[in-house]
Amino acid sequence: MRKNYSKKYVLLCAFLMMSFMAFSQTGSIKGKVSDETNLPLPGATVTIDGTTIGSTTDPNGNYAINNVKAGTYTLSVKFIGYITIKKAITVNGATIENFSLLPESKSLSEVVVIGYGTQRKKDLSGAITNVTAKDFQKGVITTPEQLIAGKVAGVSVISNSGAPGAGSTIRVRAGVSLAAGNDPLIVIDGVPIDRPRNGDGTSKIPGVADPLSLINPNDIESFSILKDASAAAIYGNRASNGVILITTKKGKSGKPVIDFSTQFSVSKLSKYIDVLTGDQIRDYVNANGTAIQKSQLGTANTNWQKEIYQTGITTDNNISISGATKQLPYRVSAGYYDQTGILKTSSLQRFTGAINLSPSFFTDHLKVTLNAKGSQVKQRFANEGAIGAAVSFDPTQPVYSGSNRFGGYYEWLNDPTKPATSPLKGLATLNPLGLLEEQDNRSNVYRSIGNLQLDYKFHFLPELHANVNLGYDVSKGSGSVNIPDSAASNYNGFQDSKGITHRGQRNPYKGTQSNTIFEGYFSYAKDLKNIASHIDAVAGYSYQDFSTKNYFYGSYAFDGTEKPGSNPNFNFDEPENRLISVYGRLNYIFEDKYILTGTVRRDGSSKFNPDRRFGTFPSVAFAWKLKQEQLFKGITALSDLKLRLGYGVTGQQDGIGNYDVISFYNLSGNAAQYQLGDILYNLYRPGGYYSQRTWEQTASSNAGLDFGFLDNRITGTLDFYYRKTSKLLNSIPQPAGTNFSNTIVANIGDLTSKGVELSLNTDVIRSQDMNWSIGFNATYNTNKITRLTLAPDPSYPGVLTGGISGGTGNTIQINSVNYPRLSFYVYQQVYDANGKPLDGVFVDRNKDGIINSSDLYRYKSADPKAYFGLNSNFNYKKWSVGFSARASVGNYAYNNVEASSGTQLSVFNGIGILNNATTSLLQTGIVGSSDKMRLSDYYIQNASFIKMDNINLGYNFGKVFGSTGNLRISGNVQNVFTITKYKGLDPEVSSGIDNNFYPRPRTYVLGLNLSL
């Protein structure tokens, strides 16, 4: 009996021991799931593959899976919009595993903003590219468009200069117009914004270099670029040059998140124009000049370019708070940007604020979105004439004269032996530093953009939504140009009625621009499962009003005295124009394989006569998801394949005045009055007009292929397009007596363009600790003018354009039939046996024995034939490094600096002073006595280039305040280097004419980002 008890006791102990051992062999898996910036991802799922065991992360991103048997498992971590991670782990007790998820921006589930709605990327039928914040350009970003420079195939973004607040020339699939604008339509949160420009490309908003500089890039979340007509035709009359949809950051559900970022940067000029030193110019004048010219030489050795440039300092500070309280997601932000330019006296300060509220009512049946953005920009504009003066001013002269005249700056006088009484030398180059420091041009500009959007989902038909969009864009600018009475630039002044001379300048300027919009549209989306179909439709109405108020002032001396005859007839004018539109779109998807999209928009513009006011702009597109077909399903390496075909017509009305179709009279100024008896009368002069003008139209065809390989680790698009612009808005000469103007803008001409675009993106490495992605894009584009006259006229040379510095009324470009737009119109240079240009010797192309304008020929173009972008981002644990580069091939530029300053005539200029010259004078020996030399193809130079735009390095510290907060520091270099054969300062000149523009500096940036 005792034995039985003993056996039972032993068995019980063994059982308890085995139970204890089994219990001791279970464990847990705990950790945190965050995004690439270490912000928690609440609601992410963590599961053990092959089981139903798992967990969901809490608001802090933490998860826990308990009672897991010891062993090796594969964990899957998923979160909507992010790449799923799978990782093998071994459980033996308490196991801690943290995960960092990367955005799934390349995935087919990505939602892309399109006109009047959104669409899944995999359902797109048009040529649309989406760029999100993680792919933006790094570093000092002044204006929003700089964020996508080099990032999108078919989109060229070229900064106009290095000046604070300078904008960019944006081209989507190059230009399709001659006299009208080539800028794309930009829409911010549903508000088509106005980017008004004068004929020379400057902003119409007084006191700002570019209207986009008034918008804080830090508030932007994504860009959608609609490139072909099938995607852009929903915007009809303003979509010929493409459409860029900008979406700003919004509030999100969850606890409040505070983001703070600051940047400090130092900018320096990386390259100077090569000019002769003081010693070199003395040697040259002593060898080639007259006795009088030799006597004018000074003893200084002044580097005028170093006198006018400085080290630029920029700080950029931004703070935002976002989150949600019950049914009210919100985001509020503020920013302060302060930039001192590398050209002395240039600076910019920008104060910005933005608020976004997006509450829902009636159990999410009514969604309200309120966007409001405001900015104030205080800017000082440098006198950029100093840039050219620094190239040409005599380096043997000192900066300061030692006298009090002209502010103490050295200037050329008629008789330098009598500085107290001798006047300035007429037409002489002025002291470069004096031009800068004796002009004070300051402005103050306010801009506000906002809208109220209502989205009501009908209770009885939830697939139907009624939408209202009320928006505005208002800018107000003012400023004054002040030049003291001691300044040489305004020293001659004017005399009042008492014979007293008043010098200097004090000229105010002021103006406003406003743009208001009302839109109402219905949207309907429904899955028709019984026929394996999905339909998505939009129909709406739009009204937009553009108004301007220009204030006019007289001319004033520095002491406030008004110049006689300068008082304007009117204090202001208020031109305006309106657009009204109806539009619709139908998107049909069958079996999730075949997609058919049709759009139409009918626009009316007040810029045209009533009988020509309306235009209709349709489009149609088809997409076929080839990967869904049985033929391709078995190809496991192929993860996506879609064919796209599209055709559409878009319109254009930019570049013409609000009232050009109406006959009107111009009132003469007070300086041009007619005397009848003892009374002076202002005269009315009829202005030229043309009433038959109508829409410029562009018909566009597009064929595209979207593809993906290896679970979309490699994705890309390939597009072919052809565009024909008809009824070109073109400047046409008028025979004498047929109109009240020498030229009119009429619908005469056709232009064609075609191109190929390729985009490739690859995740070379994609793992928990290491990620490396590379993006590449390439664009090839050509254009040709096919008609410029009503009837074929081989004798018509074309329309001259592209004014240059030097001579009177000289131009260097022409638009001609059978040639690309902006072709250079030049003489063919003759060279000696050593390749040296022969001064004033050109090819007699028509062989008539005379060199004249009949020998000019069309040579090269300012437009590149191809351009490329390359981007790389590498992340290893908490480190990141990346770069962004661009290249342009086949673009040429006219080196106006060399043409004006690289000749002997630029030194001995015939007005009794000495100037400097570029160093090329020592190699070429060009005299330049013939004005034809300025039009030599010798100065048309290959401006192809490779540019390293940005190299960046960052480190993520992670949590810095216990369990919260994320700190990241970064450093980058902008405008790192340029490889080019171009002989000028910078090959990147959008107009093709390089004439002493404000140079782009190299910038070193240190940044800090803190999230709480």
Sign of the CA dihedral running 116, 118, 123, 129:
positive
Question: Is 1012 within 8 Å of 261 (Cβ atoms)?
Answer: no
Judge contact between 95 and 63, C-beta under 8 A: no
Strand-pair partners of 730: 746
Residue 219 corresponds to which amino acid? D
pLDDT band of residue 17 (cuts 50, 70, 90) is very low
Higher pLDDT, 689 or 435: 435
> In one letter, which amino acid is 394?
D
| Amino acid letter for position 334 | A
pLDDT of residue 307: 98
> Which of 47-56, 351-360, 904-913 comes out lowest in average pLDDT?
47-56
The 10s digit of each residue's pLDDT in 670-725 is 667 777 877 877 778 787 777 888 889 999 999 999 999 998 999 999 999 999 99
Residue 81 pLDDT class (50, 70, 90 cuts): low
Q: In 191-242, where do the E strands start and end? A: 191-192, 220-226
Residue 892 in tokens: 């040429």
Tens digit of pLDDT for each residue in 960-976?
776 667 899 999 999 99
pLDDT at position 103 is 67
Structure tokens given for 757:
């675009």
Question: For 366-407, what is the HEC assignment?
Answer: EEEEEEEEEEEEEEEECCCHHHHHHHHECCCCCCECCCCHHH
The CATH number that domain 2-100 falls under is 2.60.40.1120
| Averaged pLDDT, 189-193 | 91
Mapped onto helix, strand or coil, the DSSP state of residue 315 is: strand
All residues at 6 or more sequence positions from 973 whose CB lies less than 8 Å from its CB, including other chains: 139, 950, 951, 952, 1002, 1003, 1004, 1005
Query: Band of the pLDDT at 18, cuts 50, 70, 90?
Result: very low
- Residues in CB range of 504: below 8 A, 6 or more apart: 482, 483, 484, 485, 486, 487, 490, 493, 557, 558, 559
Tell which residue, 123, 74, 79, 130, has the closest CA to residue 100: 79
The helix or strand, by DSSP H or E, that contains position 436, with its residue range, turns out to be helix 432-437
Under the banding of pLDDT at 50, 70 and 90, the label for residue 21 is very low
Q: Please give the span between the terminal C-alpha atoms of the chain, in angstroms, as a whole number.
A: 72
pLDDT of residue 80: 64
pLDDT band at residue 16 under the 50/70/90 scheme:
very low
pLDDT one-digit tens code per residue, 486-528: 999 888 888 888 889 999 999 999 999 999 999 999 999 999 9
User: How large is the C-alpha radius of gyration of the chain?
Assistant: 33
Query: What is the distance between the alpha carbons of residues 977 and 1000, in angstroms, rounded to a whole number?
Result: 11
- Across the chain, which distance is largest between two alpha carbons, in Å? 151
| pLDDT of res. 60 | 78
Is residue 545 pLDDT above 90, yes or no?
A: yes
Domain boundaries, the chain: 2-100
Instruction: Report the 10 Å Cβ neighbour count for 633.
Output: 10
Going by C-alpha positions, the residue among 558, 553, 617 that lies closest to residue 584 is 617
**Would you call 628 helix, strand, or coil by DSSP?**
helix
Higher-scoring residue by pLDDT: 135, 196:
135
Average pLDDT over every residue of 907-930: 92
CA 249 centroid distance within chain: 19
pLDDT of 873 above 90: yes
d(CA 485, CA 251) in angstroms, rounded, equals 54
Q: For 21-25, what is the mean pLDDT?
A: 48
Over residues 136-167, the pLDDT tens digits come to: 998 889 889 999 999 999 999 999 999 999 88
**Predicted pLDDT of residue 202:** 61
pLDDT of residue 602: 96
pLDDT tens-place string over residues 741-760: 777 788 889 999 999 999 99
Contact yes or no for 387/996 (Cβ under 8 A): yes
pLDDT, tens only, 124-142:
899 999 999 888 998 889 8
Task: Assess whether pLDDT exceeds 70 at residue 198.
Answer: no
Mean pLDDT of 57-62: 83
- How much of the chain, in percent, has pLDDT values that exceed 70? 95
Average pLDDT over residues 610-614: 91
Find out whether 356 and 369 touch, Cβ atoms under 8 Å. Answer: yes
Q: Hey, CA dihedral for 155, 156, 160, 162, is it positive or negative? A: positive
For 786-830, write each residue's pLDDT tens digit: 999 888 888 889 999 999 998 788 999 999 999 999 999 999 999
Q: Residue 641 is encoded by which pair of tokens?
A: 């394949």
Three-state DSSP at 547 gives strand
In angstroms, what CA-CA distances link 74 with 102, 211, 710?
19, 53, 21
pLDDT for the residue 499: 86
Q: Is the pLDDT of residue 210 over 80?
A: no
Contacts of 799 (CB under 8 A, 6+ apart): 178, 730, 731, 788, 814, 815, 816
Of residues 313 and 15, more confidence is placed in 313
Is 150 in contact with 129 (CB distance < 8 Å)? no
What confidence score (pLDDT) does residue 420 get? 67
Mean pLDDT of 725-731: 87
Distance CA 777, CA 88 (A): 36
Q: What is the dihedral of CA 36, 38, 39, 42, to 10 degrees?
A: 80
Reference 894, options 808, 784, 989, 800; nearest CA is 989
Q: Length of the chain, please?
A: 1012
Spatial distance between the Cα atoms of 918 and 392, rounded to a whole number of angstroms = 8
pLDDT the model gives residue 679: 82
**Tokens 């002395």 correspond to what residue?**
344
Query: Across-strand partners of 993?
Result: 894
Per-residue pLDDT at 106 exceeds 50: no
Asked whether residue 5 carries a pLDDT value surpassing 90, the answer given is: no
601-615 average pLDDT score: 93
φ, ψ for residue 941, nearest 5 deg: -115, 150
- pTM comes to 0.86
Question: ∠ at Cα 806 (805, 811), nearest 5°?
Answer: 65
Distance of CA 763 to the CA centre of its chain: 27
Render pLDDT for 236-283 as a digit per residue (tens, 0 to 9).
Answer: 888 899 999 999 999 887 788 999 999 999 999 999 999 999 999 999
What whole-number distance in Å separates Cα of residue 279 and Cα of residue 592? 76
Q: Is it the case that residue 3 has pLDDT exceeding 60?
A: no
Query: What does the alpha-carbon distance between residue 305 and residue 290 come to, in Å, rounded to a whole number?
Result: 27
pLDDT for the residue 37: 66
CA 1007 – CA 262 distance, rounded (Å): 6
User: Percent of the chain, pLDDT > 90?
Assistant: 64
Classify the C-alpha dihedral 388-394-396-398 as positive or negative. negative
DSSP state of 768: S
Q: Is the pLDDT of residue 14 over 70?
A: no
pLDDT at residue 363, as a whole number: 85
Indicate the burial class of 704 (C-beta count within 10 angstroms; 0-12, 13-18, 19 or more): buried
Q: Which two tokens stand for residue 150?
A: 């080099």
